[in-house]
Amino acid sequence: MKKVFGQTVRDLKRGVNKKVLKVPGIKQKVLDATNNESWGPHGSLLADIALATRSSPEYQIIMAVLWKRMNDTGKNWRHVYKALTVLDYLVAHGAERVIDDIRGHTYLITTLSDFQYIDSNGRDQGSTVRKRSQSLLVLVNDKERVIEVRQKAAANKDK
């Protein structure tokens, strides 16, 4: 990102979202976690989102943003990939209803197994989305594995 008088454009946009558009804090966190930057979401951001899934109003906001991000295409492939990454994290650390929600959106995640995007350098960036969507579906459809992942996450929570 380019610096503008000591602030990045992203920081300026976040400030506008909060003050002018009055975007709820949790929505901004999910948007930040699923942005189009080349690095993944920060662990503390994921932890905040996971904790917020236990609150009903915030849960609705989180899931609405994630499902909207899953419908992005083309050059916004990172939105889709990072939304899948957040969902994967929420399976282990979020409220249990996340798992049911993912199962309810199986059709959407299944369509991502055909996701296509070739970047300007000729690389198939869609392959990462395809792999992540398939692994998420395998995980949520294996109840024993979900229990194991959640127990492991709970045991490692304080580490």
44, amino acid identity: S
pLDDT at 29: 94
How far apart CA 29 and CA 41 sit, in angstroms, is 10
Average pLDDT over the chain, rounded to whole? 88
| Gyration radius of the chain over CA positions | 16
pTM of the model: 0.84
Position 156 confidence tier, pLDDT thresholds 50, 70, 90: confident
pLDDT at 74: 87
How far apart CA 25 and CA 32 sit, in angstroms, is 10
Q: Tokens 């350098």 belong to which residue?
A: 121
pLDDT at 95: 96
5-19, 42-56, 83-97, 114-128, range with the lowest pLDDT: 5-19
pLDDT tens across 53-93, in order?
Answer: 999 899 999 999 999 999 998 899 999 999 999 999 999 99
